[in-house]
Amino acid sequence: MDDNFEQLYNTYYMKVYSYIMTLAKNKDDAEEITQRAFFKAMTAGKRHRGDASEFTWLCAIAKNLFLDDKRTTSRMSEDGLENIQSQDASLERAFVDEDSAFRIHQVLHSLDEPYKEVFSLRTFGELSFNKIGLLFGKTENWVRVTHHRARLKIQERMEKE
């Protein structure tokens, strides 16, 4: 292991693990995906190009591995998306399916502000509630409520279609 990679690992392991833990909601899965993400970053022919921060690059690798695992699990599951229990999990899985993702983007595009921007910053920009609050000059609680309402509006409109 070269020194650069070891420094990268020591600096970002817990941050990437925490990020994946919010997606996977399972300690073992999060540890596995985080390990695989760092392994892939180390062994891949492509290196960090500097277009984004190293943390963002590692999170993108980890998120793609998480989504790959979810796609595989969905294909193997007989019940598919019908047995999803939490609203967050169903919305996250819907992004995996291209048609659903396109429909979600259509619904998102039709949302009023600030719902559209808060949802986009949180989901696609992967910003914390606190940072989004700073952008809007609002409290973290305001951002959480606005994000929750945006998610409900998207789900409601998706169900109508």
The pLDDT score that the predictor gives to residue 35 is 92
Last residue of a domain, one of 22, 50, 76: 76
**CA-CA distance, 64 to 96, in Å (whole number)?**
10
Q: What's the mean pLDDT when you consider all of the chain?
A: 78
The residue-averaged pLDDT of 129-142 equals 88
Verify that 39 and 104 share a domain, yes or no.
Answer: no
**Angle at CA of residue 78, ends 72 and 79, nearest 5°:** 105
Among 90, 95, 126, 89, CA closest to 108:
95
Read off the DSSP letter of residue 83: G
The residue-averaged pLDDT of 95-124 equals 76
Verify that 68 and 121 share a domain, yes or no.
Answer: no
Verify that 153 and 86 share a domain, yes or no.
Answer: yes
The pLDDT score that the predictor gives to residue 90 is 58
φ/ψ (deg, to 5) at 26: -150, 120
Last residue of a domain, one of 32, 57, 76: 76
**CA-CA distance, 23 to 64, in Å (whole number)?**
11
* pLDDT at residue 3 greater than cutoff 70: no
Verify that 117 and 131 share a domain, yes or no.
Answer: yes
Please state the domain count of the chain.
2
Verify that 70 and 128 share a domain, yes or no.
Answer: no
The pLDDT score that the predictor gives to residue 2 is 61
Verify that 40 and 67 share a domain, yes or no.
Answer: yes
The pLDDT score that the predictor gives to residue 82 is 47
- Residue range of the domain that includes 47: 1-76
Percentage above 90 pLDDT, the chain: 9
**CA-CA distance, 118 to 132, in Å (whole number)?**
7
Last residue of a domain, one of 19, 46, 76: 76
Contacts of 157 (CB under 8 A, 6+ apart): 107, 110
The residue-averaged pLDDT of 7-14 equals 88
Model confidence pLDDT, tens digit, residues 16-45: 988 898 888 888 899 999 899 988 888 875
Two structure tokens written together for 84: 């999803």
The pLDDT score that the predictor gives to residue 137 is 92
Verify that 137 and 92 share a domain, yes or no.
Answer: yes
Two structure tokens written together for 99: 């048609």
CATH number at residue 106: 1.10.10.10
Model confidence pLDDT, tens digit, residues 54-101: 888 888 889 999 998 888 777 665 444 444 345 555 555 555 556 666
Query: Which stretches of 22-116 are assigned E, i.e. beta strand?
Result: none
CATH number at residue 40: 1.10.1740
Burial class (CB in 10 A: 0-12, 13-18, 19+), 154: buried
